Amino acid sequence: MSGKPIKEMIISTMQNGPETLKELEMAKKTGKDISLERGTVQRKVDQYHPSVLRLTVSEIEPVSPIAKRIRLVSDTGYLPPFEAGQYINVFCEIDGARTSRPYSLSSSAKQRAYYEITVAAVEGGFVSGYLLRQLKVGDRLEANGPAGVFRYHPVFHSKRSVFLGGGSGITPFVSMIRTALESGEDRDITLLYGSRTEELAMYHGELAAFAEGHPNFHYTLILSDEEKEGMEHGFIDAERIRAHVPDILDCTYYMCGPAVMMEFCRKALDELQIPGRSIRREVFGTRRDIWNEPGWPEGMTGEELFQIKVGDQTIEAKSGESVLTALERGGLRVNVCCRSGECSLCRVQLVSGKVFTAQGALLRYADELFGYIHSCKAYPISDLELRF
């Protein structure tokens, strides 16, 4: 053996091999040392798609009696860009359990001094209760980078946008509206916002001010639980959409809100014969009364207790609580982002047992073939054995 690298030995046997080796040797002495750039590509990728964002709470302010906006700044001074309508998945350590919840960004995508999320109280909410009652300015949080596809696409979507929002589902629309109006986009927006009462309507004052100052933004607040002079009362149904949208077929529709509200609005759009390609949706989790969803096993109340076995560990789970939540409460960490059945990061393999799969889980053929479930949308209806 000559001791030469195999690459050099092979090149030397080729036509003009010796001359090529001389040129390579000269390039090593005078050329650019690319070893100095090792890791450049990954650093650039991390700028736009970081695996972890380390954030500090800079402001907390009420936006309704049951909701607060929380402004977050980066510990490094840099926040990756996002598209209006996207969300971040915020992680918390609560009573020894590490869990997360996705929150839509409500700040304008045109500025990145801070991210703003809006947290509304949820009855029995594990994370919302912590963020609303215990979080304070100066506290630190971790989050995934911006994600989600609920956004305006100028090539495929109509310039005429109709936003159908309910409750805390207003938050991605606030980001879209701020981004479009503050930057002067050539886009006409109609927002129909359903709230139980005027007092509970988040960002109502800001949205009303936008409507007064921008002729291309039309805003209607619809109250379901109270009647007030000058305000509409009822729900976002087909008749109301037709009344506020002059040319219903020349629009792209965006829906965001509680699961029950989304089902109601989808039926209204079907009644208006709006094609599926013109409808975009963002689901905030799964309905809380999952036992009332079509297909739920007859006779089960959501209070039944089952055992979930993972490796050599066994935890207790309630039928009315998702497998993901049960795993987190049991101290088992699962990769997660959207918690709405779309991103597929929380998939686990179902070795044995049965689950009820809620509406909206985007299971692939391969998932069904090899027994994978989206743990955020799966509810135990027997004892289970899982494999991560």
pLDDT at residue 84 is higher than 90 = yes
| Domain 48-143: CATH superfamily, name plus number | Translation factors (2.40.30.10)
pLDDT digits (tens, 9 = 90+) for 298-345: 999 999 999 999 999 999 999 999 999 899 888 888 888 888 877 888
What confidence score (pLDDT) does residue 3 get?
66
Q: Taking 70 as the threshold, does the pLDDT of residue 276 lie above it?
A: yes
Q: Is the pLDDT of residue 148 over 60?
A: yes
* 21 against 218, higher pLDDT: 218
Please report which confidence band the pLDDT of residue 284 belongs to, taking 50, 70 and 90 as the band edges: low
Higher pLDDT, 161 or 51: 161
- Whether the per-residue pLDDT at 285 is higher than 70: the answer is no
The CATH number of 292-387 is 3.10.20.30
Q: Quick one: average pLDDT of 71-99?
A: 89
Label each residue of the chain as H, E or C. Answer: CCCCCHHHHHHHCCCCHHHHHHHHHHHHHHCCCHHHHCCHHHHHHHHHCCCCEEEEEEEEEEEECCEEEEEEEECCCCCCCCCCCCEEEEEEEECCEEEEEEEEECCCCCCCCCEEEEEECCCCCHHHHHHHHCCCCCCEEEECCCECCCCCCCCCCCCEEEEEEEHHHHHHHHHHHHHHHHCCCCCEEEEEEEECCCCCCCCHHHHHHHHHHCCCEEEEEEECCCCCCCCEECCCCHHHHHHHCCCCCCCEEEEEECHHHHHHHHHHHHHCCCCHHHEEEEECCCCCCHHHCCCCCCCCCCCCEEEEEECCEEEEEECCCCHHHHHHHCCCCCCCCCCCCCCCCCEEEEEECCEEECCCCCCCHHHHHHCEEECCCEEECCCEEEEC
**Boundaries of every domain in the chain:** 48-143, 160-283, 292-387
160-283: what CATH class? alpha beta
